[in-house]
């Protein structure tokens, strides 16, 4: 019995040490925003710096408000923001596709596994050789609560935003041809391939932004503001 209780103490001690180490290593907020493809725009005279901005949000999170932030940054950079695409020389269109979060326990495996390990030890200790299966099941419940209590003090939390981005500049050399191919399914076992060409007065560039914020016990509010700021910094470097 004493040995089993000693195992419990050691397990809880390990969880506490891992938690303290994690708190030291990741106590500062870290934000990393990466662009899938670089975009290079032609420089224009100040009077031609007119841009149309439209941001959509299909992530389901309404707190990630990029529209206002982008408009503010473009104004700061000296651009005139217009609601009429026909008057613009640049367009910035974005869709916030996903905004997700993950939380890991100090051991990196998640609270449920920590709870299961502690639960197995506690269950054996409670059973003391009698009714081990029942005791282990009861101990797993207790262990889950213990694991959450100890590891939950410091959780490694990460928020990730995925943004689809289209930036366009008006062409000064006539219309631009865009060739597209679509594969369509019609009914069961029938598919149709379609090729078509569009002409546009815009040169369009597509890319993706992935922005991640990590910190111990990071809150959604803090992560959202940090991610918005870092995305804006990345976008401002294109103009």
What's the pLDDT score for residue 66?
A: 94
Q: Kindly report, residue by residue over 148-203, the tens digit of the pLDDT.
A: 444 446 899 999 999 999 999 998 765 555 555 666 666 666 666 656 566 578 99
What's the pLDDT score for residue 195?
A: 61
What's the pLDDT score for residue 192?
A: 62
Contact in structure between 125 and 136 (CB atoms under 8 Å): no
What's the pLDDT score for residue 136?
A: 44
Q: Domain range for residue 98? A: 2-236
What's the pLDDT score for residue 171?
A: 83
| Nearest alpha carbon to residue 105 among 221, 216, 237, 230 | 216
DSSP code string of the chain:
-HHHHHHHHHHHHHHHHHHHHHHHHT-S-EEEEEESS---PPP--GGG-EEEEEEEE-SS-TT--HHHHHHHHHHHTTPEEES-GGG-SEEEEEEEEEEEEEEE-TTSS-HHHHHHHHHHHHHHHHHTTSSHHHHHHHHHHHHHHHHHHHHTTS-EEEEEEEEEEEEEEE-SSS-EEEEEEEEEE-STT-EEEEEEEEEESEEEEEEEEEEEEEEET--HHHHHHHHHHHHHHHHHTT-
What's the pLDDT score for residue 194?
A: 59
What's the pLDDT score for residue 104?
A: 86
What's the pLDDT score for residue 126?
A: 40
Q: Kindly report, residue by residue over 154-167, the tens digit of the pLDDT.
A: 899 999 999 999 99
Low-confidence ranges of the chain (pLDDT < 50): 5-12, 15, 18-19, 22, 111-143, 145-152
How many distinct structural domains can be found in the chain?
Answer: 1
Tokens of 193: 């391939």
């Amino acid at each position: 019995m004493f040995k089993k209780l000693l195992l419990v103490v050691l397990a809880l001690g390990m969880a506490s040490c891992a938690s303290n180490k994690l708190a030291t290593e990741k106590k500062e907020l870290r934000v990393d925003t990466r662009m899938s493809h670089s975009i290079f725009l032609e420089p224009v005279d100040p009077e031609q710096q007119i841009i149309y901005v439209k941001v959509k949000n299909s992530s389901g999170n309404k707190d990630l408000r990029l529209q206002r932030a982008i408009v503010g940054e473009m104004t700061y950079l000296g651009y005139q923001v217009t609601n009429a695409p026909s008057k613009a020389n640049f367009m910035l269109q974005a869709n916030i596709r996903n905004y997700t979060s993950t939380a890991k326990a100090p051991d990196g495996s998640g609270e449920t596994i920590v709870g299961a390990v502690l639960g197995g030890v506690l269950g054996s200790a409670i059973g003391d050789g009698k009714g081990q299966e029942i005791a282990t099941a009861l101990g797993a419940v207790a262990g889950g609560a213990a694991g959450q209590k100890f590891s939950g003090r410091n959780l490694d939390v990460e928020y990730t935003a995925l943004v689809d981005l289209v930036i366009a500049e008006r062409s000064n050399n006539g219309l631009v041809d865009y060739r597209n191919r679509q594969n369509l399914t019609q009914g069961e076992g029938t598919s149709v391939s379609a090729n078509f060409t569009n002409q546009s007065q815009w040169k369009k560039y597509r890319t993706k932004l992935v922005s991640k914020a990590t910190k111990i016990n990071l809150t959604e509010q803090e992560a959202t503001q940090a991610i918005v700021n870092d995305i804006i910094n990345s976008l401002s470097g294109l103009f």
